Amino acid sequence: MNDHHDWKAIRSLLPYLWEFKGRVVFALTLLTFAKFANVGVPLALKQAVDALDPAQQDVIYLPIAMLIAYGMLRLASSLFSELRDALFAKVIYRTVRRIAGNIFQHLHSLSLRFHLQRQTGGISRDIERGSRGISFLLNFMIFNILPTLVEIILVTVILLTQYDSIFAIITTSTILLYIIYTLAVTEWRMRFRRTMNEMDSKANNQAIDSLLNYETVKYFNNEAYELQRYDQTLSSWETSAIKNQTSLSLLNIGQGTIISVGLTLLMILAGQGVVDGSLSLGDLVLVNAFLLQLYLPLGFLGFVYREIRHSLADMERMFQLLEQSEETTDKPNAQPIAIKGGSIIFDHVFFHYDSQRPILHDISITLDAGKKLAIVGASGSGKSTLARLLFRFYDIQTGSISIDGIDIRDIQQHSLRQAIGVVPQDTVLFNNTIYHNILYGNPLASKEAVIAAAKQAHIHDFIASLPDGYKTLVGERGLKLSGGEKQRVAIARTLLKKPKILIFDEATSALDSHSEQAINTQLEAISTNKTTLVIAHRLSTVTDADNIIVLNQGRIIEQGTHQQLLAQSKHYAAMWALQQTEGITNNE
């Protein structure tokens, strides 16, 4: 990953941090104090040692003041550091919370197209890793890298002003060499770490996938095959993990060597100085203490550098999610709509998801307020696309769609969707209680309203018969309910929303004929006097529609009432005859 991206990730963070500029400045001030105290410790120690050195003069007194100063400085150093951490916690965690919230909101505003192409698991991992990356980066940038730099500069200044320049030269060269070596080796090690992480995620995916498809594995007796695939991935993980560990030892040995050589050289020089009488014993202690103090924060360097690189990469992936642009956006002057009748007009609509495959050609449909329009046709003829366009999941290329004479592109998306109730083909329920799932239609509704909606959808008695009633948990993706029960929950949820326009998107195609008849009766009951669009595969469900449109490969080939279309004895009549003979109990 190159520096340009690193800076971009850090730049994206700045506006969030800027909110707390007061705190940040204060924390940095505390940090500087902590470092001054830290550098003062060896100085106090030197004074104490010199005062106690019998060679200098007769030791008359214990340098109490110096020893107390030594203790106070050590305390101050850790005190300021802790205060700075405490102050900064709010900055870090509030920033993480803000960014995660922004991304969550942004993901909901992205187009259906984006969501049909993504992997949910991947996105949640991106957000999780990115948030961790932010707290790590802020913590270490401000608590490890900055302070160490401040300290190195202070120490170099003291050594240059108080002692022979050779001391400062050796100290800074040792540190520079140490840093360069650490960064170079860490950079080389990162690829083992990366392979290790990749293999770890891959093995994890394989395991989850295999367990989710438990039944399939059993049907084909492929347990051994699954294990072998899983183990293969783990074996490459093992190889990388071992390399990762051995290279770490190599890094540590090298770091140790550099520091020891530097220290030894300094000690020899300082020792020589003491013998010559140009340096006191305290100076020897001071030089040693400084280098050891610098060595401690540097020990973290390889780890910090690696983690910061990872954090930046993770943050970049997370911020990329924020850069995904929204496909359908409100116009600046879009108005909320208050639907009066709810008449719908599709006027010469052309639409394609990608220009290679046109879906709808020149569709013109008029649906009067309070009437029921059915759209029928083979699968892939573009029936469901019409519903998605009316809901404005996508924008059309040419033509217009209007409700009550207003183009839907001039209406705020929120208010447009508020007015339309959809009962989809495949009801997905939240992994929560039945009550929560019905209430979802209107989270502000009262308990009475929820029960009334359930009664209208004829599911109240079923719910009441369950041991936990409305508190019954629906399994992941609604697995514990049968198709008919799920559809009824979906109907209750839509009723609670009280929409002016209803769309039934093949709402009964997943049911057996008995449930289908029951649910169709309910759908008819709730759609009286509401503008209703029914997308159907089974013609028996739409015989009562005010108008039926037959779609074929994105074009309207016939339209009229059930009787008129039968009389024309063309495409619709042929479909009707075929479905009658099949007794159409089987699904599409």
The reported pLDDT for the residue numbered 508 is 66
Helices and strands, number each (H, E), in the chain: 20, 10
CA distance 152 to 77: 16
211-247 pLDDT, tens per residue? 888 888 899 998 899 999 999 999 999 999 999 999 9
Segment 333-353, tens digit of pLDDT: 787 877 777 888 899 898 888
* Secondary structure letter of residue 403 according to DSSP: E
pLDDT of residue 54: 67
Asked whether 375 and 400 are in contact (CB, 8 A), the reply is no
Amino acid letter, residue 265 = L
3-state secondary structure 176-210: HHHHHHHHHHHHHHHHHHHHHHHHHHHHHHHHHHH
Distance, in Å, from the CA atom of 368 to the CA atom of 384, rounded to the nearest integer, reads 20
Residue 351 near residue 48, CB atoms below 8 Å: no
Backbone angles phi, psi at 313, to 5 degrees: -65, -45
Q: In what order do the strands lie in the sheet with 406-407?
A: 357-367, 344-354, 398-403, 406-407
Taking 80 as the threshold, does the pLDDT of residue 6 lie above it? Answer: no
pLDDT score for 585: 47
Q: Which helix (H) or strand (E) holds 47?
A: helix 21-52
Q: What is the CA radius of gyration of the chain?
A: 36
Task: Find the helix packing angle between 281-299 and 21-52, rounded to 10°.
Answer: 150
Cα dihedral across residues 405, 411, 417, 418: positive or negative? negative
**Could you identify the residue written with the tokens 């991106």?**
126
Amino acid 587: pLDDT: 45
Q: Token digits for 112? A: 């259906």
Strand partners of residue 473: 433
- Predicted local confidence at residue 326, as pLDDT: 73
Query: Token pair 């009964």 is at which residue?
Result: 508
Alpha carbons 213 and 222: distance in angstroms, whole number: 11
Cα gap 102→243, rounded to integer Å? 39
Q: Up-side HSE of residue 279: CA atoms within 13 Å toward CB?
A: 23
Where are the strands (E) in 356-419, listed by range?
357-367, 372-376, 398-403, 406-407
Q: How many angstroms separate the CA atoms of 360 and 348, rounded? A: 10
Query: Backbone phi, then psi, for 425, in 5-degree steps?
Result: -70, -40
CA distance 424 to 430: 15
Q: What value does the mean pLDDT take over residues 304-318?
A: 80
What would the mean pLDDT of 502-531 be, rounded to a whole number? 76
User: Mean pLDDT, to the nearest integer, of 481-504?
Assistant: 85
Give the whole-angstrom CA distance, residue 471 versus residue 473: 6
pLDDT score recorded for residue 242 = 95
Q: Considering only 246-250, 529-533, 536-540, which range has the smallest mean pLDDT?
A: 536-540
Q: Between 165-212 and 281-299, two packed helices, what is the crossing angle to 10 degrees?
A: 20
Contacting residues for 439 by C-beta, under 8 A, at least 6 apart: 445, 450, 496
Reported as a single tens digit per residue, the pLDDT across 403-454 is 888 888 888 888 888 888 888 877 778 888 889 988 998 898 899 999 998 8
Is there a contact between 551 and 381 (Cβ–Cβ < 8 Å)? yes
Q: State mean pLDDT over 95-117.
A: 81
Nearest-angstrom CA–CA distance, 23 and 85: 11
d(CA 573, CA 562): 9
Task: Write phi, then psi, for 543 (nearest 5 degrees).
Answer: -60, -25
Helix (H, G, I), strand (E, B) or coil at 323: helix
Percent of the chain with pLDDT over 70: 93
Asked if 364 contacts 396 with a C-beta cutoff of 8 angstroms, the reply is no
Helix (H, G, I), strand (E, B) or coil at 371: coil
pLDDT attached to residue 340: 78
Torsion of CA 38, 77, 151, 174, to 10 degrees: 60
Longest dimension (CA), the chain: 126
3-state secondary structure of 346: strand
How far is the C-alpha of 94 from the C-alpha of 80, rounded, in Å? Answer: 22
In the prediction, which pLDDT does 355 show?
A: 79
Neighbour tally for 568: CB within 10 Å? 13
Residues 6+ apart with CB under 8 A from 255: 178, 181, 182, 299, 302
Q: What is the pLDDT of residue 476?
A: 58
Q: Which of 170-174, 255-259, 315-319 has the lowest mean pLDDT?
A: 315-319
Q: How far apart are CA 261 and CA 250, in angstroms?
A: 17
